[in-house]
Amino acid sequence: MLEVRQLTKIYNEQNKVENISFSVQEGQCLALCGGNGAGKSTIIKMLIGQLPPTKGDMYVNEQPIQNNDKQWFSFMPDHLQFPPLLTGYEVLSLFGQWQGATDERVKQCLDVVGLTNDQHKQVRMYSKGMQQRLAFAQALLADAALLILDEPTNGLDPYWVWEFKRLIRLEKEKGKAIIFSTHMLSIVEEIADTVVFIHQGQMLIYDSVSALCQDGKSLESIFFAQISQHMSY
């Protein structure tokens, strides 16, 4: 569905993300992992067209991505600021108008993220987790083939982390491709099919989660082993 080859962003000699290659297919979920400053957001910004790559290629259904063709993905940023005086329903309706979603779809998405009862409250009265769920609803609106989610579980309580995982599994069953960045490795083990692990702008691991976690190993132990190996050279 989506393939990236040798994706590279060189901000300067110290800050760069180099030679990232991966693909994600329909019905699959790929997790972007790595510590603070590893390069996850940089990769996402290049995927969504917010940041021009220094080099590299991106393909959707084997066709090079056109700069202005945004129909193939939905995006959930890590910090989405909503107009504080609008209600949740008004906010999602506005996004719905931009994305061509019906009022029925707006209400359906509010329901999916558990905001039906709070839809007529102003967003300034929403908690961080509620705003995060509204941002997730915004990403679901268009029913796009690929969901790109930047740290989607930030601020969610345990129940909504559990619900998020359930919703992602449902999207996978519908044939959606999903890319998400996270620091929560337990979530990766539970819902991702493949994982990209980045350290200081370099891709150290690109593999299936089941292959990595065979023999009962945890992603945490695998990633730490990779980092220490990388640092010893």
SS3 of residue 49 by DSSP? coil
Which is nearest to 92 in space by CA: 69, 78, 76?
A: 76
Binders of ligand ATP in range 92-111 (CB under 6 A): none
> Is the Cβ of residue 10 or residue 225 nearer to ligand ATP in the bound state?
10
Question: DSSP alpha helices (H): ranges in 53-208?
Answer: 88-99, 103-112, 128-140, 158-173, 185-191
- Report if residue 77 touches ligand ATP, rule: CB under 6 A: no
- Report if residue 38 touches ligand ATP, rule: CB under 6 A: yes
Number of residues located near ligand ATP, criterion CB under 6 A = 10
> Is the Cβ of residue 36 or residue 67 nearer to ligand ATP in the bound state?
36
Determine the interface stretch with ligand ATP among 21-29, 36-44, 211-219, 224-232 (rule: CB under 6 A): 36-44
Q: What tokens does 63 get?
A: 């066709």
> Is the Cβ of residue 41 or residue 194 nearer to ligand ATP in the bound state?
41
- Report if residue 224 touches ligand ATP, rule: CB under 6 A: no
Other CB atoms closer than 10 Å to residue 75's CB: what's the count?
22
Binding mask 128-167 for ligand ATP (x = CB under 6 A): ----------------------------------------
Other CB atoms closer than 10 Å to residue 5's CB: what's the count?
14
Nearest-approach distance from CB 202 to ligand ATP, in angstroms: 11
Binding mask 15-34 for ligand ATP (x = CB under 6 A): x------------------x
Give the span between the Cα atoms of 165 and 172, in whole angstroms. Answer: 11
| DSSP result, 58-90 | EEETTEEPPTT--TTEEEE-SS-PPPTTSBHHH
Which is nearest to 45 in space by CA: 102, 7, 3?
A: 7
Distances from the Cα of 171 to the Cα of 25, 33, 177, angstroms? 13, 21, 8
Residue choice 40, 172, 176, 199 for contact with ligand ATP (CB under 6 A): 40
Residue choice 36, 81, 214, 232 for contact with ligand ATP (CB under 6 A): 36
**Site residues for ligand ATP per CB under 6 A:** 11, 15, 34, 36-42
